[in-house]
Amino acid sequence: MKKLIYQSTFSRHGIIQARFCPLRAWFQNRIGFGMGLMLLFLLPATVRGTDLSVRVLSDKAYPKAYFTAELGQYRVYDGDHKPIMELASGQTLRISIKDGQIELHQGEELVGIFYNLIFEGKGLKAIFSLQDSRNSSQKCFYDDHLDVSVDKTKLFFINHVDLENYVAGVVQSEVRGISDQTDFYKVQAIISRTYAMGNLRRHNEEGFDLCDDVHCQVYKCRNNTPIILTATVQSAGEVIVDGKDNLITASFYSNSGGQTANSEDVWNAPVSYLRSVPDTFSLGMKNAVWEKVMPKSEWLSFLNRKYQYDIHNAAMKDSALHFQQPERKVNFAGGIPLKNIRRDMQLRSTFFSVDTKGNDVILSGRGYGHGVGLSQEGVVRMIDLGYSVREAIEYYYTGVTIKSLEELPAGKLGD
């Protein structure tokens, strides 16, 4: 992959600190929510800056793609930032690979051949789309700007995107539809923003900040869900920090099953804010319980084959067939880490008990996910019961505080 020459002319941390809190105060205290949304939409892309560089379409191998200026104007530059052309809203260019470089076509006309391309959004709002075929109905829509280069036989896309646009896209990709409460999406926006700002250097050696899949955060397109936009605007700039003002690892999952897990029980390292807490809020929710049934012989054979568990020892065999977990444990019978059994059996959680019925064993499970940090369904329930965003976050993360990015020194970001 050719290293991109283009760099944003905006200071990442300077833009963030100058923008978020005054903007949020204006939304919440002066002009009201409806006008606030309109103002956010009308902010020029050139003023808002490009805070994050995110590799997009990372799971796809596009040897050819169509770029469309869906809203606003785009200026196209080469890798030395020399202007090539301008695109009006609705215009499309074809990008394809030839001999390790990029051919750029407008219709049937060859515009030129380049190592890198830069699509810089202009105007009140800049939105573009990418698709692998001109006639494809599966367009991927993004905000702000795009850099394109070649990585062997596929196009390499980096979306230079405003932080809040990115956060809204992540929330939509991760949890759209799980709740109808704005405050739930505020929690998710704060978590996503905290992760993004704490991992700015994760792909530094590859020339971008974050990728768009589960290695970082799922970011499949721009947000187009009003309630998520509302939540992102109203929580703009807010992140979660520990007692030393360090951005936390804001881990989350679907459902705790009634008790969260300590970080060291899953990841081997104790973290002060990732402590096990009782979680009645998760009970009764969609993913609170699960069950897996299999023949006794299959269960015992699995334990013996994977972990050399002595199934011929009567006491050990009985323990394996009648394992109880009224509260979360770290190990199964014989000292086998429950996280290993979950991984190898592809179970929903480590929080399960084992009983027998005839020739079968029944794994009666609770929760869905690793159990460390915040339970999404627990937060849904808390918000429905009237708890605040702050109360939900501080319940699942021990001893943390919500702060604005402008309150944090630059050295606390992206470590």
Main-chain phi, psi angles of 128, to 5 degrees: -130, 165
Give pLDDT tens digits for 321-380. Answer: 999 999 999 999 999 999 999 999 999 999 999 999 999 999 999 999 999 999 999 999
pLDDT of residue 414: 66
DSSP-assigned beta bridge partners for residue 104: 95, 112
Strand stretches in 318-373, DSSP E: 352-357, 360-366
pLDDT of residue 24: 42
Count Cα neighbours of 246 within 13 Å in the Cβ-side half-sphere: 9
The stretches of 263-410 forming alpha helices (DSSP H) are 263-267, 296-307, 314-321, 338-345, 376-384, 389-396
How far is C-alpha 317 from the chain's CA centre? 42
pLDDT of residue 201: 85
Give the integer Cα–Cα distance in Å for 92 and 78: 17
Domain boundaries, the chain: 12-164, 167-254+263-279+371-412, 289-366
Length, in residues, of the chain: 415
Contact (CB, 8 A) for 402 and 250: no
Give pLDDT tens digits for 224-248. Answer: 999 999 999 999 999 999 999 999 9
pLDDT of residue 21: 39
pLDDT of residue 51: 84
Residues in the chain where the model's pLDDT stays below 50: 1-37, 39-40, 42-50
pLDDT of residue 13: 30
- pTM across the whole model: 0.85
Contact (CB, 8 A) for 189 and 231: yes
For residue 366, how many other CB atoms are within 10 A of its CB?
A: 24
- Which whole-number Å values give the CA distances from 176 to 120, 128, 284, in the listed order? 29, 22, 21
